[in-house]
Amino acid sequence: MNHLVSSSLLASDFLNLGNEVTMVNKSLADWIHLDIMDGVFVPNISFGLPVVEHVKKIAEKPLDVHLMIIDPDRYLSRFHDAGANILTVQYEACVHLQRTVTEIRRLGMRAGVAINPHTPVSLLVNTLPFIDMVLIMTVNPGFGGQIFIPECYNKIRDLKKMIHDGGYKVLIETDGGIDTTNATKLVETGVDVLVAGHSIFSSQNPTETIRKLKTLK
């Protein structure tokens, strides 16, 4: 499978959000990544439902919504109504994870589970039958522009094997510190979806950076 690129708006110019979404619409990016932070699960607050709703009005690509919030069950249907196509919850924030991901699917979204750098992929062995994607965090969640943690390559390899051995159709997404210097190795290691924020929006030519992340040339 050709890998996908999910462009994270966290690093975009919020004063010109409409133009930023239009740029992503016209680019080779596949998805639009939206980071929801509650100031409790992670030490930062980003943006919430009204921003997702507004982005949805002009987005021409699926919304890949990453919830970094405690007890996400409270908001699943509201993110669906706001326009999320893929909804990812953090493993560490869910007490009844199988119920949560089943509800995400019942609402008509694709279900993802994100794991922090310290969380072993082996903990997902009984969850893989119920989800569409695993998001391996390659930084500690909460902020854009952090340094990629290279130890995560082993997690990607191990998860790829678990997915293959079980015969599941589960995508592997990675998020945090991804740029044109590590994208190729990530895809070669088994990543299906690359999230990138800072490396796209802080570059001289974001459209061209997206093209490089997509084509790996």
Q: Which one of Zn ion, ligand DX5, none interacts with residue 145, CB within 5 to 8 A by kind?
A: ligand DX5
Between CA 173 and CA 216 the distance in angstroms is: 16
Q: Which one of ligand DX5, Zn ion, none interacts with residue 187, CB within 5 to 8 A by kind?
A: none
Q: What six digits make up the tokens of 108?
A: 């008509």
Nearer to ligand DX5, 121 or 135 (CB): 135
From the list 35, 38, 132, 192, the catalytic residue is 35
Question: How many other C-beta atoms can be found within 10 angstroms of the C-beta atom of residue 99?
Answer: 12
The burial class, CB within 10 Å (0-12 / 13-18 / 19+), for 16 is exposed
Helices and strands (H and E) in the chain: how many = 8, 8
Residue of 94, 87, 50 whose CA lies nearest to 71: 94
| Interface segment toward ligand DX5; rule CB under 6 A; list 54-62, 98-106, 174-182, 184-192 | 174-182
Q: Which residue is nearest to ligand DX5 (CB)?
A: 198
Nearer to ligand DX5, 83 or 142 (CB): 142
Q: Which residue is nearest to Zn ion (CB)?
A: 66
Catalytic, 175? Answer: yes
Residues 139-158 that bind ligand DX5 (CB under 6 A): 139, 141-146
Binding flags for Zn ion, 98-117, as an x/- string (CB under 5 A): --------------------
Between CA 215 and CA 58 the distance in angstroms is: 25
From residue 180, give the alpha-carbon distance in Å to each of 154, 200, 216.
20, 9, 7
Q: Which residues bind ligand DX5 (CB under 6 A)?
A: 8, 10-11, 33, 35, 66, 139, 141-146, 175-178, 195-199
